[in-house]
Structure 1
Amino acid sequence: MNRLQGKYVLITGASQGLGFELAIAFARAGAAGIAIVARNKALLDVARVRIQEVAPIRVLAIAADVSQAQDIERVVATTLNEFGGRIDILVNNASTIGPSPMPFLLDYPLEDFRNVLNTNLIAPFLLIKKVLPAMIENGGSIINVTSDAGITGYPGWGAYGISKFGLEGLSQTWAAELEESNVRVNWVDPGNMNTAMHRAAEPLEDPTQWANPEDVTEIFVYLASDESKDVNGQRFHAQVEEELSQAA
């Protein structure tokens, strides 16, 4: 119940889908405060109320576009100011799929390609860079959300897949460079989930065959907690870990 007691959390892409379910799970695990970030303020405000119904904790709802460097500056500054200079857990969850249906690379619009990379790859780089000074002082956990499209180049997955390839490399490099610190970096592939983004990416598939986001949160809670304080530089598949946990 109190696996995250005293921890302060920042989650991007947290107004719905996996990010929202992670905020709920972290609140249930006893987090002291959670900052949720997304572009849509109305959805964020609804999410904030729902999280506080689960646990009476401090929830910051910060409307921001993480593809914009100035918004990232504001998000980190606001969170540190409101949480007494503490960010113990950073979850880089925000992603964009790009144009839907997704075009082949030959037809991919340049501005859309840049926007996907800015959101899915550059934003995690900047967020980690900005939170590290506070994290190094107190220790912390960084969790990046990846995809199987980041290890296999699927036709038609264009900039999204390429951004996740980059995120995997970014995660490995940060983990190696922080090996001697109290900050750990791991990354999680949540698998196929029934989310708005995945439905847009594969509109002809049956989303009822995919996992619900709330069913894949356990590995994230583990990585956020002190139970994983010696785990660094590892890739996890949330649905496989969940199956192993149930089997045990």
Structure 2
Amino acid sequence: MQTDNGLRGIRVAITGGTSGLGLALVRQLTSQGARVAFVARTAANVERVADETGAHGIVGDVGKKDDIYPIAMQVTSSLGGLDILVNNASCLGPVPLALLADTDCEDLEAALAVNLVGAFRLTKALFGALAASAREGRAGLVINISSDAAVSAYPGWGAYGASKAALSHLTAIWDEETKTDGIRLFALDPGDMDTPLHALAVPDADSSTLKRPELAAAEILEKMLNALRTRARPGVETNP
């Protein structure tokens, strides 16, 4: 991706930031001069990525209610506020994938807890910081990572697909509700990527047919920049 200083100094929080798309986003955003805080569950991985990138690492699980406010407080204290939130952390539900009739209720609940409720709770906890960013003319942007499984009925992907479909619709409703606050919310499908999550879901997939997380991250950064440019030109509406 071409260097663009439009992201320099922008304060970004990313969940699921130690592997796959999340890690690629942390790396590219920090290289572009953004101030980044990322969240993941494993302390050793958080420390490793923080040391590598200079981003602020936060150990936490967005699928756990009690972790949300500590995560939000660490995000805003480490960055001095927040301009962009990327809800990227995802849970497949049952592993290996299972038909809905064979899916345990607990596995469905786990997918919903991370992919839908966790994203909702963290966005809500950070809403004030995002609204302040919007008032200051900085950003106030939420990007929720969705999937084509949210719109296509793939057998075996029921828990994951249902949770991502709910996330996409929640995003659309929230975007309508926050126009007066200046906050924008987008659900983005990065495509099928060569990530640990995809390998868990489809162990025998040919990785050469999958998108590299680095490419998907670069595409998302371009959408961020487009949203920031649109904000800088009042009255212009552009689909990022």
Using the size of structure 2 for normalisation, the TM-score is 0.89
Aligned partner of residue 200 in structure 2, secondary structure: helix
CA drift at 1:224: 2.8
Aligned partner of residue 142 in structure 1, secondary structure: strand
Is the 8 Å Cα contact of residues 143 and 223 (structure 1) preserved in structure 2? no
Q: What is the identity, as a one-letter code, of the residue corresponding to 1:145?
A: I
CA drift at 1:228: 4.1
CA drift at 1:10: 0.5
Distance, in Å, in 2 between the alignment partners of 1:65 and 1:46 is: 17
- Work out the percentage of aligned pairs sharing the same amino acid: 35
Report the equivalent of 1:76: 72
Report the equivalent of 2:15: 12
Report the equivalent of 1:118: 113
CA drift at 1:231: 5.4
CA drift at 1:76: 0.3
Aligned partner of residue 98 in structure 1, secondary structure: coil
Report the equivalent of 1:192: 192
Q: Given the alignment, which residue of 58, 71, 76 partners 1:62?
A: 58
Report the equivalent of 1:95: 90
Distance, in Å, in 2 between the alignment partners of 1:126 and 1:216 is: 25
Distance, in Å, in 2 between the alignment partners of 1:228 and 1:113 is: 38
CA drift at 1:151: 0.7
Runs of 4+ displaced beyond 4 Å: none
Report the equivalent of 1:171: 171
Q: Given the alignment, which residue of 100, 105, 121 partners 1:105?
A: 100
Cα deviations across residues 41-67 of structure 1 (Å, max 9, x unaligned)? 111111112213xxxxxx211111110
Cα deviations across residues 88-117 of structure 1 (Å, max 9, x unaligned)? 010000001122221111111111110110
Map 1:1-248 → 2, pairs under 5 A: 1-31=4-34, 33-52=35-54, 59-84=55-80, 86-139=81-134, 140-225=140-225, 226-229=228-231
Is the 8 Å Cα contact of residues 92 and 143 (structure 1) preserved in structure 2? yes
Q: What is the identity, as a one-letter code, of the residue corresponding to 2:74?
A: T
Q: How many residues align?
A: 226
Report the equivalent of 1:242: none
CA drift at 1:203: 1.4
Distance, in Å, in 1 between the alignment partners of 2:158 and 2:170 is: 19
Report the equivalent of 2:137: none
Using the size of structure 1 for normalisation, the TM-score is 0.87
Q: What is the identity, as a one-letter code, of the residue corresponding to 1:4?
A: L
Distance, in Å, in 1 between the alignment partners of 2:36 and 2:193 is: 23
Is the 8 Å Cα contact of residues 16 and 47 (structure 1) preserved in structure 2? no
Distance, in Å, in 2 between the alignment partners of 1:3 and 1:171 is: 25
In structure 1, runs of 5+ residues without a counterpart are 53-58, 237-248
Q: What is the identity, as a one-letter code, of the residue corresponding to 2:59?
A: A
In structure 2, runs of 5+ residues without a counterpart are 135-139
Q: Are residues 51 and 181 of structure 1, via their aligned partners in 2, closer, same or farther at CA, if it must alter by over 3 Å?
A: same
Is the 8 Å Cα contact of residues 3 and 30 (structure 1) preserved in structure 2? no
CA drift at 1:4: 1.2
Report the equivalent of 1:246: none
